[in-house]
A and B are shown apart, each in its own frame.
Chain A
Amino acid sequence: MTSLALRQDGPGTVTVPGPRRRLVGLVAALLVLLVVLVLSVMIGSTAISPSVVWDALFHPSPDIDQFAIRDYRVPRTIVGLVVGVALGLSGALIQALTRNPLADAGILGVHAGASFAVTVAVGVLGVSDIRGYMWFAFAGALIVTLMVLALGSTRQGQSPVVMVLAGVCIGAVLGGVREALQLTNPDAFDAMRSWNAGSVVGRPLDLVWPILPFLAVALVLAFAVSGPLNALALGDELAVAQGVRLVPTRVLSVIALTLLAGGATAIAGPIVFVGLMVPHVARWIAGPHQRWIFAHSILLAPSLLLASDILGRVVMRPREIPVGVVTAFVGAPVLIALVRRKTASGL
């Protein structure tokens, strides 16, 4: 999602949920996630009985259906969990950083950088396996976001507005070059279809483990800047008055969200709607406190992603719909309903 619509504070009154509601919300989100995790292992494009699923997990044997559970559904579920956590938290971070409720990591050029790098890897360098081009995606996302950070740095420090503009501009340029490369190399376009749509199918776990340390660092950074981001929501001057150091806060936030979104995009491709929508739901439940928003987003985003993936497995059996497509279908109406209903989704 690449929107420039920056939020203007309105005169509306926002009811801030109390600690009890936040805690209940968090526990409920955790329960929902656990249920979705179980369903993700239970439900697939092939009907496999719950007893076989149980045996596959706790009494493993070389049964063909058990292999299907252990080799495909479990890794797919873990991938969805990791990608969902990363997307949800990155979305909450970018919205807090830019004070833009319609922002996701895409506006800083993460998706554009990743997609461009993958196109070069596939179309120019002949990398055909996701194990190879995943790292190009990660590097592309990081490099482009660092460029955006540099371009967004003025003498007065980092400006979210300039960063967003720089991200959109670089994204547009890279998007154009990427399109040109794909038009002149249809095979590259073919090879990237699945990645472009956003999918968690066929991503082996050994592809995910190397990304996890980056995500862990980003997780720590995100919670470290959550307090300063609360103050930033009041405006730069008030934040500075409260002792917030603007530059480190923004730089660390950008690094964290880039690692998160870059890692998720590298694994699953550009899934745009999760990071946009989930923080709204999180704010509705948890109120304006970033730490709580982050915590809720971390639990809600993988639930949305995995629920969408489950839906994608069954609605057109035997073929599957990529999760990126389903999240857009599921997420758009939900987001519209939420935005129309609650002022609490504002920042």
Chain B
Amino acid sequence: MNRKKRTPMTMTPLRRRGGALVAVLLSTTLVLSACGGGGEDSGNSAGATRTITADNGTIEIPADPQRVVALGNTSQPFIDIGGKPIGVTELSASELDPIPAEQKATFAAATNLGADTAEVDLEKLAGMKPDLILVQVPDSEFEGIEKELEAIAPTVFWGLDTEWKTFADALAEAGNLTDALSEQKTAFEEKVAKIKETHREVIADTSFVAVDRWDNADPGTFVITDFGCIEIAADDIGLNSPKAAEGDDPLGWTDLPFEQIAQLSKYDAILYPVDAEGQPKKAFAPVVESNTWKALPAVGSGRALGVFCPGNNSYGPVLKYLDSLDSALASLPAKG
């Protein structure tokens, strides 16, 4: 996971604004002219509409949108519930790698509109004549392009602090994909119930701590994290893991020097990030290779569990995380 993705509720990227102003100024004229040429090609002029409420207010959108553009953090979750966007902004390799092949193909088939929302090619976007634009970026970034996007098509915006389940519901509602989402939600609830039942005693009797190391972390530092996938494990499964006090910054925002790896000794079990093959995540490898890590009681007794977290912003990746967590908990040796 990249450092820029750290938020309390999600691991979604904080998109940057660099270069946006120039792009906006260059594109606005063309965008407005594209939209001012009449409504016959709007892609949705004849269709029924409905209203949806999001962070940018109540928006009238097509009842069954067909030409959806997904910007910022909306692309992967939208594809995950069966959406087929016609345009997207880029995903980083670490975001793209874990998603299934068919979803990658859907993403690749969409038109690339730019590295991120701040640098989205508005001229190209307008030329695609979308009937719906979905956006999840930092509030300040959206404010910079809100008018331009809304001039092109109905635009639905969510801020980064939107809770992931709420976000999935809202995306499905906007994209008219609630049936697909319903299946995922059922699978999620069943999986959560199974884990809680199967590992009832472990969950009740074990103090966990989730650790990580961001892609661009300072050398010699790691974090104890309380957001991302561990948040799901804590809130939905009931894992007992440290959390920041109300009103404080999330624990995962504080880089801790390796010297403090020793502090993990007080926990019964440690959850650390691994890739799909079960190997420690590349950025986390220096922690695992350190002598202090190897000397931890939990590590020596096999109670350091590698867990694969492909994402935490939609049900598909979360279900994979739960599978990994289920296997990890099953492998947890009894306390010595």
Residues A45 and B216 in contact in the complex (CB < 8 Å), given A64-B296, A184-B18: no
A186 neighbours in B (Cβ, 8 Å): 4, 16, 18
How far does the Cβ of A49 sit from chain B's closest Cβ, in whole Å?
13
Question: Do A72 and B295 contact each other (CB < 8 Å), given the known contacts A194-B219, A199-B218?
Answer: no
- Which residues of the other chain, B, contact A270 by a CB distance below 8 angstroms? none
**Smallest CB separation, A196 vs chain B (Å):** 11
Interface digits, A59-72 against B, CB 8 Å rule (1 contact, 0 not)?
Answer: 00011110110111
B301 within 8 A of A: no
Q: Cβ of B4: which chain A residues have Cβ within 8 Å of it?
A: 186-187, 190
B221 at the interface (CB under 8 A from A): yes
Known: A183-B18, A183-B19, A194-B219. A45 touches B292 (CB 8 A): no
Q: Which residues of the other chain, A, contact B97 by a CB distance below 8 angstroms?
A: none
**Given A67-B292, A318-B254, residue A45 in contact with residue B219 (CB < 8 A):** no
CA gap between A72 and B218 in the complex, in Å: 14
Q: Are B295 and A319 touching (Cβ within 8 A)?
A: no
Cβ of B258: which chain A residues have Cβ within 8 Å of it?
Answer: 68, 71-72, 202
In the bound complex, do residue B257 and residue A45 qualify as a contact, i.e. CB atoms below 8 Å apart? yes
Residues of B close to A71: CB separation below 8 A = 258, 290-292
A7 within 8 A of B: no
Contact A64 to B295, CB < 8 A, known contacts A72-B257, A183-B19, A318-B254: yes
* Given A72-B259, A201-B257, A318-B254, residue A67 in contact with residue B218 (CB < 8 A): no
Secondary structure at chain A's binding surface: helix, strand, loop or mixed?
helix
Query: Is A1 part of the binding interface, using a Cβ–Cβ cutoff of 8 Å?
Result: no
Kindly name the residue among A44, A202, A203 whose own CB sees the greatest number of chain B CB atoms within 10 A: A202
Task: Indicate the size class of the contact surface on chain A.
Answer: 20 to 34
Most buried by A among B19, B215, B220, B261: B220
A residues in contact with B221, CB < 8 Å: 201-202
8 Å CB contact of B262 from A65, A130, A320: A65
Whether B146 is near chain A, meaning CB under 8 Å from some CB there, is: no
| Bound-complex Cα distance A1 to B233 (A) | 49
A45 to B295, CA, bound (A): 19
**A319-B216 contact given A186-B4, A202-B221, CB 8 Å threshold:** no
Is B106 an interface position by the 8 A CB rule?
no
B299 → chain A closest CB, angstroms: 10
Bound Cα distance A83, B295 (Å): 30
Whether B18 and A67, one on each chain, are in contact in the complex, defined by CB atoms closer than 8 angstroms, is: no
A190 to B14, CA, bound (A): 12
Is there contact, CB below 8 Å, between B295 and A318?
no
Contact B219 A201, beta carbon cutoff 8 Å: yes
Task: Report A243 CB to chain B, min CB distance, Å.
Answer: 48
Give the residues in chain B near A46, CB-CB below 8 Å.
259-260, 262-263
Q: How far is the CB of A200 from chain B (nearest CB, A)?
A: 9
Q: Assess whether B240 is interfacial by the CB under 8 Å rule.
A: no
Q: B265 in the interface, Cβ–Cβ < 8 Å?
A: yes
What are 22 contact pairs spanning A and B, CB under 8 A? A44-B257, A44-B259, A67-B292, A68-B259, A68-B261, A72-B258, A72-B292, A128-B216, A130-B219, A186-B18, A187-B216, A190-B2, A190-B3, A201-B221, A201-B257, A202-B219, A202-B221, A202-B257, A203-B220, A318-B254, A319-B255, A320-B255
Residues of A within 8 A of B (CB): 44-46, 62-65, 67-68, 70-73, 128, 130, 183-184, 186-187, 190-191, 193-194, 199, 201-203, 313, 318-320
Closest 10 CB pairs of A and B: A202-B220, A202-B219, A194-B218, A64-B295, A190-B216, A67-B291, A191-B216, A201-B220, A72-B259, A68-B259
